[in-house]
Chains A and B, each alone.
Chain A
């Protein structure tokens, strides 16, 4: 069942990419359908990582909201790092902090780690068990709970709903 769900989601993703890449023409669509279908079938026995994605309306709503939350974080943190680079005294307080996550699925952890890395100022250096080790350009909270609240909580709130 999990493998089936994984294949269906993979098929949809491949099809969307194909449509974006080519044009909306019958020939192109048929070629894309066949290729996506073949890939989905041939990878049926691989580990069903994508099966952790929830397909409920609520999860869909949260993923759209997540795009905006992420965009806001991206812009704010980019401006913050830009300000630091331009300040002559270079105000830095770098270090690697440990945070933990409640997310269980592999894809959930992947999206969380990628989101953390994509926002400037934080960079995931290692993922081990349920812990993420994050290089932080300006450490505000030194203990695990505080750092988790500061870095992870804003993303996790949404990702918990999207990935089971």
Chain B
């Protein structure tokens, strides 16, 4: 029961991430919504699934999966953002400042 609720909360975060992907104005902000909500979303989902099944070695597998998500997810989103900035994809109109372009 608790596992199901936690998994549900995780999926809500994933849903909000998808919604953010549609609503955000430019590539950088979309990345914020799209790549980050997956961290907490999939973490909660995995923990929920582990609580639901809760036998054998499920916990060690879940810990390992969370570790791999935590280590790989930021690297891919950083690489995407950096590449987007390198090929000069324009930022949204609301953008307040851009220190990186100033320094280059």
Which A residues have a C-beta under 8 Å from some C-beta of B? 17, 19-21, 23, 74-75, 78, 81-82, 84-86, 90, 92-98, 113-115, 117-121, 123-126, 128, 133, 135, 137, 139, 142
**Min CB–CB distance B8 → chain A (angstroms):** 15
Cβ distance B22 to chain A, nearest Cβ, rounded Å: 9
Contact of A125 among B24, B57, B63, B81 (CB under 8 A): B81
> When chains A and B are docked, how far (Å) is the Cα of A162 from the Cα of B96?
35
What DSSP secondary structure best describes chain A's contact surface?
Answer: mixed
A–B complex contacts, Cβ < 8 Å, 10 sampled = A82-B13, A84-B20, A94-B29, A94-B94, A96-B91, A98-B100, A115-B74, A117-B77, A125-B78, A142-B96
CA distance A128 to B63 in the complex (A): 32
Q: Across the interface, do A78 and B63 meet the contact criterion of CB distance under 8 Å? A: no
A135 & B32 in contact (Cβ 8 Å cutoff)? yes
| A75 & B97 in contact (Cβ 8 Å cutoff) | no
List which B9-51 residues lie within 8 A (CB) of chain A.
13, 16, 19-20, 23-26, 28-29, 31-33, 36-37, 39-40
Residues of chain A within 8 A of B40, CB atoms compared? 74-75, 78
Contacts of B37 in A (CB 8 A): 78, 81-82, 120
For B39, the chain A residues whose CB sits under 8 A away are 74, 78, 118, 120
**B100 contacts A85, C-beta separation under 8 Å:** no
